[in-house]
Amino acid sequence: MSPSVPLQEMIRAIRSARTQCEERGVIQRECAAIRAQFRQADNGGRSHNLAKLLYVHMLGYPAHFGQMECVRMIASPRYSEKRVGYLGAMMLLDEKQDASLLITNSIKNDLSHSNQYVQSLALCTLACMGSAEMCRDLAPEIDRLLRASNSYIKKKAALCAVHIVRKVHELGELFVPAARSLLSEKNHGVLHGAVVLIIELCEQNPETLERFRKTVPDLVQIMKGLVLSGYSPEHDVAGISDPFLQVRILRLLRILGRNNEGASDSMNDLLAQVATNTDSTKTVGNAVLYETVLTVLDIKSESGLRVLAVNILGRFLLNNDRNIRYIAMTSLQKIVGTDHNAVQRHRGTIVDCLKDQDASVKRRALELSLALVSASNIRSMMKELLLFLSSCPPELRAHAASGIFNAAERYAPSQRWHIDTMLHVLITAGGDVRDETVPNLIQLITNASELHCYTVHKLYRALLLDISQQSLVQVACWCIGEYGDLLLKGDCQETEPVQVTEDDALDALETVLQSHMSSPATRGFALTATMKLSTRITDNVDRIRSIVSIYGSCIDVELQQRAVEYNALFRKYDHMRAAVLERMPVIEKNSPGHTNGESTGEAVKDVPTAKMKQGEPLLLQQPANQVHRSDHPPGPAVDCLVSGLSVHAAGTAGGDLLDLLGGFEPAELSPVLAYDKGGVTLTLSCEKQSDTGLTVTLTASNSSDSDLSSFTLQAAVPKSVQLHMKAPSGDSLPARGTAKVTQMVVLNNPNKVNLKMRVRVSYTRQGSPFQDTVQIDSFPGLDSQL
């Protein structure tokens, strides 16, 4: 076939242009010539011109003026012109262009052309860019071609039908009978097209799927033929007979066998045969094995077959080829939830993949490793994960850090280990952790009271080494401020003693304050810490006083405000300073994942000021009563500090603070333990809404060592009482009280009968269901009122 000379000459001219500008010039000239030619009457070179235009289009230059020419060429009787015209239509027209509708008629005519190659052009174009209207128009034609034509056209019609069904779902019904009959064809191309079409029909419509289930035996036969047949030169690829068709049939079997015992049973033998007989030395064999494994894991296969499939994946993990390892991990990720133990066996190999050079493999290995962490392997896994974190590519750092935190929170074997791990992460990847890490870590530290000394020493040393990681610096400053006395004492059993003088500590804090690397939030932390040290050290209080007064004229408004207030604390309110800056009690744990307000640093800093209460110096006498909510915003509390005791801090966090004072709020009553068995506890708290109405909140918690699922509560009350149960917060209770389930029950007792409630607790523990009933006779605080 002689190449198009004008086209090649133009391509040569464009390629010989030495600069972008020169190239643009050549192209502009050529386009002008092409435009002129388009306007002329029919000459022999039309197809060459359009081809030139298409080349220019591929280089990225605009070519929309060629759209009408495409339409004209498609209508031409010459095959050469039709060919280029259709190619142009596929490249320049898409369903969004108006011109595409103009070719519908040409396509319709060409579909019934006497020459099959013309028919195939039309089919191809329709399948590539046919819009919904065109598809609706031409669907009957395609159906006709599916039934009565040669195999060349049938296979193209089949894929064209696939496109139509994707565009217009309702037309699927039209093709079902034809698709069914195509399965008995011998030609592989037609068979392949038929299988693709059936897959599409089944995915769109579940009823169609039911009807096609009957074809499973036929499909199994075809597959068997392919797997067991001898060498067929036409379809052979490295010893596998027609892998494309095999993979497609496996996909269809997967769809038909899903959730269906009968169909799955009939494919078991075949799948086992394919899994064992397929040669896995080349990629093509592995492709078929991969599809087989996916199918086995998705249908209701028998356990022996499932084990075989997971073993194949295990073999894949050890393969030298990176691609194979990558897809093995992708598949294992899908089943790690259901076949957890099977995947655990390969944990070693997966962890090794963390060290692979390739970024894609690393990412997969990280996700899978995080999913495999459990209470038994937490120490060894964490070692590997931390090692990974220190050398991992930057785009994976944030994900790795948050994964490590979650794992540490769920499975930490000891508090010291937990703190150590979090510190390690902050030192390695402090810039990539989420904002709530800082308050979470601080809360964790306050909870571990015996480790305060160890923690503050460790943080101080880390601070000396590096002050660029903001999260780490924030936590370190907070700890130095809070536990400065322990730091200065110098002796600590858990770590080597280091002599820290007051000047050293203040130097460290001042470095943070002055460094340009510190963010404004961090400097806020450092300033507050410096202030707190004023009550924990003896000699250098003047130095602190001078630092604080300098920052009173700082250009940063937040720092300035703090400094001014601390100054006031030194001057007018010096008698209160010791109390205000006293050691903070343990911060109560919020529910996991709870973000404590918008700002991170500021929130924690203001906790000492929240000690201000309505009208009384409660903080001096009852420090134990106070719960510090870290989401207390700075505003009103700060005012409170300045103006003394007159303004109460309850303004914004009103209800929360007043809660603790017990008797102040009569409507809210303290929770009562209603049920305690097998590690499951149910507490009950009531709130009177009206004279006859009552809202009961049931809170369930699980302190045993195993997770509970399908946790449900049912309630029954005396006849005249109306009961309405709201939706529960969840239905799973993880072990060791990591999360609770709450459910509200609204009661209405218009007849004021004696209120009793029977509650049935049901849940599943390790696969076996459990049920119990408890009767609640007394509701806290209700006595004679209700």
Regarding 281 and contact with other proteins (CB under 8 A), the answer is no
Residues 202-241 as x/- pattern, contact with other proteins by CB under 8 A: -x------------------------------xx-x----
Intra-chain end-to-end CA distance of the chain, in Å: 98
For residues 304-323, which are near other proteins according to CB under 8 A?
322-323
Minimum CB distance to other proteins smaller for 226 or for 422: 226
For 44-98, give the DSSP string. TTHHHHHHHHHHHHHTT---GGGHHHHHHHHTSS-HHHHHHHHHHHHHH--TTSG
Which CB sits closer to other proteins, 94 or 466? Answer: 94
CB of 363 to other proteins, least distance (A): 8
By the rule CB under 8 A, 156 interacts with other proteins: yes
Q: Could you say which residues in the range 48-67 bind other proteins, by CB under 8 A?
A: 51, 54-55, 58-60
Nearer CB in complex with other proteins: 194/408: 194
Site for other proteins in 751-780 (CB under 8 A): none
d(CA 440, CA 412): 14
Among 30, 110, 141, 242, binds other proteins (CB under 8 A): 242
279 vs 616 by CB, closer to other proteins: 279
In the list 28, 40, 105, 115, the residue contacting other proteins (rule: CB under 8 A) is 115
Largest alpha-carbon pair distance within the chain?
A: 105
Tokens matching residue 638: 């700060």
Q: Is 162 in the site for other proteins (CB under 8 A)?
A: yes
Which residue lies nearer to other proteins by CB, 127 or 299? 127
What are the structure tokens assigned to 369, written together?
């490793």
DSSP symbol at 733: B
Q: Which of 46, 154, 188, 632 binds other proteins (CB under 8 A)?
A: 188
Q: Judged by CB, which is closer to other proteins: 39, or 96? A: 96
Does 445 contact other proteins by CB under 8 A? no
Tokens of 63: 């070519």
Q: Interface with other proteins by CB under 8 A: which range of 157-165, 530-538, 641-649, 743-751?
A: 157-165
Choose which of 35, 72, 83, 648 interacts with other proteins (CB under 8 A).
Answer: 83
Q: Is residue 252 part of the contact set for other proteins (CB under 8 A)?
A: no
Q: Name which position in 283, 344, 681, 712 contacts other proteins (CB under 8 A).
A: 283
CA distances, 626 to each of 485, 614, 715 (Å): 23, 13, 35
Query: Under the criterion CB under 8 A, does residue 616 sit at the interface with other proteins?
Result: no
Helix, strand or coil, per DSSP, at residue 629:
coil
Among the listed residues 452, 416, 470, the one whose alpha carbon sits nearest the alpha carbon of residue 583: 452
In the complex, what is the shortest distance from the CB of residue 126 to other proteins, in angstroms, rounded to a whole number?
9
- Which residue's CB is nearer to other proteins, number 361 or number 422? 361
Q: Least distance in Å: CB of 285 to other proteins?
A: 9
Interface residue with other proteins among 56, 73, 74, 87 (CB under 8 A) is 87
Q: Interface with other proteins includes 563 (CB under 8 A)?
A: no
Binding-residue pattern over the window 516 to 555 for other proteins, x denoting contact by CB under 8 A: ----------------------------------------
Report the alpha-carbon distance of residue 374 to residue 378 in Å, rounded: 6
> Which residues, 6+ apart, have CB-to-CB distance to 168 below 8 Å?
132, 135, 136, 139
H, E, C per residue of 682-729: EEEEEEECCCCEEEEEEEEEECCCCCEEEEEEEEECCCCCEEEECCCC
Options 102, 168, 198, 247; binder of other proteins; rule CB under 8 A:
247
Give Cα 594 distance to the centre of its chain: 18
Q: Which stretch binds other proteins (CB under 8 A): 92-100, 215-223, 704-712, 763-771?
A: 92-100
User: In the block, which residue shows the tokens 């109560």?
Assistant: 588
Helix (H) or strand (E) holding 773: strand 768-776
Say what angle helices 541-550 and 502-514 make with each other, to 10 degrees. Answer: 10
The Cα 614–Cα 100 span in angstroms is: 76
> Measured from the CB of residue 51, what is the shortest distance to other proteins in angstroms?
5
What the block records as the tokens of 502 is 């007051």
Are 535 and 483 spatial neighbours (Cβ–Cβ below 8 Å)?
A: no
- Which residue type is seen at 358? D
Residue with Cβ nearer other proteins (60 or 655): 60
CA distance to 239, 248, 267, 440, 666, per residue, from 242 (Å): 9, 10, 20, 57, 79
Instruction: Using CB under 8 A, pick the residue from 291, 420, 432, 602 that binds other proteins.
Output: 291
152 binds other proteins per the rule CB under 8 A: yes
What is d(CA 14, CA 16) in angstroms, rounded to the nearest whole number? 5
Give the shortest CB-265-to-other proteins separation in angstroms.
Answer: 24
Cβ closest to other proteins, residue 361 vs residue 759: 361
Q: Is 597 in the site for other proteins (CB under 8 A)?
A: no
Tell me which H or E stretch contains 147: helix 132-147
11 lies in the site for other proteins, by CB under 8 A: yes
**Quick check: helix, strand or coil at residue 502?**
helix
Residues 21-50 that bind other proteins (CB under 8 A): 44
Q: Which residues contact 243 (CB under 8 A, 6 or more apart)?
A: 237, 284, 285, 287, 288
Nearer to other proteins, 59 or 753 (CB): 59
Shortest gap between Cβ of 219 and other proteins (angstroms)?
16
Dihedral (Cα; 468, 470, 474, 477), 10-degree rounding: 10
* 326 binds other proteins per the rule CB under 8 A: yes
Which CB sits closer to other proteins, 245 or 423?
Answer: 245
Tell the smallest beta-carbon distance from residue 490 to other proteins (Å): 51
Query: Does the protein bind other proteins through residue 655 (CB under 8 A)?
Result: no
Considering only 28, 36, 117, 450, the residue that binds other proteins (CB under 8 A) is 117
Chain center to CA of 541: 50
Question: Is 128 near other proteins (CB under 8 A)?
Answer: yes
Picking from 717, 684, 687, the residue whose alpha carbon sits closest to that of residue 700 is: 684
- The yes or no reply on residue 89 touching other proteins (CB under 8 A) is no
Is 69 a binding residue for other proteins by CB under 8 A? The answer is no
Helix ranges (DSSP H) in 168-282: 172-182, 188-204, 206-212, 216-228, 243-257, 261-277
Contact 214, 179 (CB under 8 A): no
Judged by CB under 8 A, the number of residues near other proteins is 74
For the bound state, the minimum distance from the C-beta of residue 361 to other proteins, rounded and expressed in Å, comes to 6
Min separation Cβ 88 and other proteins, Å: 10
Helix-helix angle 283-298:243-257, to 10 degrees: 10
| 338-377: contacts with other proteins (CB under 8 A) | 357-361, 363
Which token pair is 770?
């459990």
- Is residue 78 at the binding interface for other proteins, with CB under 8 A as the rule? yes
Q: Does 127 bind other proteins (CB under 8 A)?
A: yes
- Residue 155 or 347: the one with the smaller Cβ distance to other proteins is 155
Residue 607's closest CA among 636, 575, 584? Answer: 584
CB of 232 vs other proteins, minimal distance in Å? 9
Q: Does 193 bind other proteins (CB under 8 A)?
A: yes
* C-beta closer to other proteins: residue 360 or 626: 360
Q: How long a stretch of residues is the chain?
A: 786
**Smallest distance from the beta carbon of 168 to other proteins, in angstroms?**
14
Is 297 a binding residue for other proteins by CB under 8 A? The answer is: no
Reading the block at residue 182, the tokens are: 């195509």
Contact 278, 288 (CB under 8 A): yes
Q: Which residue has the tokens 């002129």?
A: 36
Q: Which of 26, 35, 144, 189 binds other proteins (CB under 8 A)?
A: 189
